[in-house]
Chain A
Amino acid sequence: MTDVAVAPTETVPVQGSGPKRALKSFTSLLRQRPSAAVGLGILLFFIVLSVIAPWIAPHSTQNPSGPVYAGPSAKHWFGTDDGGVDVLSLVLVGGRVSLIVGAAATAVAMGVGGVIGVLSGYFGGWIDMLLMRITDYFLVVPDLVLMIVVATLWGPSLSHVILVIGLLLWTSTARIVRAEVKSVRERVYVRRARTIGAGHTTTIFRHVLPQVAPLLIANTVLSVAIAIFDETSLDFLGLGDPNGTSWGIILEHANERTAVSYGAWWTVVPPGICIAAVIVGCYLLGQALEDALNPRLRISHFAFRSWRLRPLVGLGKDAT
């Protein structure tokens, strides 16, 4: 028993259950941790921007609308690229692809990884061993190299990119889900449920999944960041969709078409900042979610500021 300053026998009641309660805890999380709010804000901003991109893009993304490698101006906020195409429009439209690829690849990874993780963690045995061996291998092989090889052999296309990224992402999700499922399975109330006769399906859906779901969501958000990062890298190496445009492809073109010699920083800076912003947003939100789900209220014993001494008011035993 720990001597906690708040009596454990009194608790704070929380109303509602299920989705309503989840929403309430989420909003309180946003209030308590500004980083989560910032992250969410950034993501929403870019999502909205991407959705309305075709309507707000000032110029065409295919046809030149200005001089080659012109610097930022009133007409072209981000200048033009080597073909005279407006960079701002490219960035806006490219954002759609980047976000879609990120989301799709993550969906693949979550789906496959989640299911395998749950089965492996819950049932153990040889399924688990097999999974562990496979994911051990994937963990050790350098991601980008494997993706490069597969993408090269398969041929560059949008769907290939999504699948290749998903192929590598599912392993870390599976491991995380497996670890959590294993730990939840050992919790007393789950064992109790099994003892009183609940079947596997019931146990998984009623007891295990509700505990695992929040962590899965946090992991999903973080995975989107990784997926976008990977997509950018693949694009840069020429393995992205040859006909499309995305932030990563804008960077690739900048490199390929000697933007450096022209000093055309405006073709490089905006897409990179957008990529970084989205990744930072995902990271902040995902980390905050993960931290919130690990409620180990540790008071750090390493106090870098000492406790404060208040002056003693009045004398005697019961100074109030």
Chain B
Amino acid sequence: MNWTEYVIKRVAFTIVTIFVAISLNFLLFRVLPGTAVTNLARIPDASIQLKRHLRAEFGLNQSLGRQYWDYLKQLAHGNLGNSFANQQPVSKNLRLALENTIPVVTIATILSLIVGIATGVYSAWRRGSIGDQISTNAAIVLYALPTQWIALVLLIAFSKYLPTAGASNPFAVTPPPFWQHLDDIAAHMVLPALTLVLTLYGGNTLIVRSALLETLGEDYMLTARAKGIGRGRMMWSHALRNAMLPIVTLVTLSLGSIVAGAILMEVVFSWPGIGSALYQAVVQRDYPMLQGGFLLFTVSVVLFNLLADLLYFKLDPRISQ
């Protein structure tokens, strides 16, 4: 199938998935036991009138279908409701949080990819050697260590030298000059980013290594070797180029790990990003925020998946026909 067809199919799938996510979001919060209404009992001193009022405000006295339709309408306007905790629009809260999350997660992901690919290639190249064993076992161990543990250990170890919480110095009275501010943020970012890199790179190493080993056993590698083009070229032009395909697939599947890692890291470091926001929403039973956060996370990952699919198409000539 050609490019257009493929794009249409993938985009259609993405749209359907997002729609399902939206609907699931709706259902979960209305239908599961322990939802807003029944949990209103958890709000201490909720009087009957308050409950009735809240019911009406959330439209919970209407039919499910009607609620669904209202929900969709609101969503179309970008209205995700208001947070229980700070009465601000959920969308605004999420946007602010996102601004904090994106820099650190992006940097950490890119670094972990680079380190992961480098160590994976090295391990495959020197398969069976001591270096390979060390590298692979280190990757396995780091992959197995919980993110929050790595974060806590780093915190305890470096609490004397680096800031331990937040994204910037909370005690500054007046906004500091730009470079100082940047320096401050950077200092705050070191440990969180390091945590994420350590959590993520191990998985990448293992993925790259196994994809490469698989590729290296193929027949065309024998042909490449017979051509006398040298090991470096073999690895780069032939092995890696073919291994990119399973690597892209597997890295895509690990998007979930990036999300999970980000959430746990932000909780430990009190980094004011969407992970923290989600956590706060859980703690405070802030359902609108929880709903909004879920939607945001899901849609982001779905979109990234779409990008990865399109990239895969470009890389594999066998499906572009």
Contact = CB atoms under 8 A, between A and B. Distances in A.
A, B: real partners: yes
A198 interface: no
Interface in A203-236: 225, 229, 232-233, 236
B264 A275 contact: no
Contacts, number: 160
B153 A300 contact: no
Interface string B147-158: 111001101100
B285 interface: yes
Contacts of B239: 302
Given A155-B34, A269-B153, A301 B225 contact: yes
B149 A142 contact: no
B217 A301 contact: yes
Nearest to A296: B217
Secondary structure call for the B interface = helix
Query: What interface size band does chain B fall in?
Result: 35 or more
A143 interface: yes
A300 B216 contact: yes
B259 A144 contact: yes
Given A149-B28, A238-B283, A276-B141, A144 B263 contact: yes
Contact of B145 (A137, A276, A302): A276
A251 B164 CA distance: 17
B189 interface: no
Contact of A255 (B140, B152, B213, B283): B152
Interface of B: 13, 17, 20-21, 28-29, 32-35, 125-127, 140-141, 143-149, 152-153, 155-156, 159, 164, 213, 216-217, 219, 221-222, 224-225, 231, 234-235, 239, 253, 255-256, 259-260, 263-264, 267-268, 278-279, 282-283, 285, 290, 293-294, 297-298, 301-302, 305
Interface of A: 136-137, 139-146, 148-150, 152-155, 225, 229, 232-233, 236-239, 248, 251, 254-255, 259-261, 263-265, 268-269, 271-272, 275-277, 279-280, 283-284, 296, 298-304
26 contacts: A139-B253, A142-B255, A144-B259, A145-B259, A149-B28, A152-B285, A153-B33, A153-B35, A233-B146, A233-B264, A237-B282, A248-B146, A251-B152, A255-B267, A260-B152, A261-B159, A268-B153, A271-B149, A272-B145, A272-B153, A276-B145, A279-B144, A284-B140, A300-B217, A301-B216, A301-B225
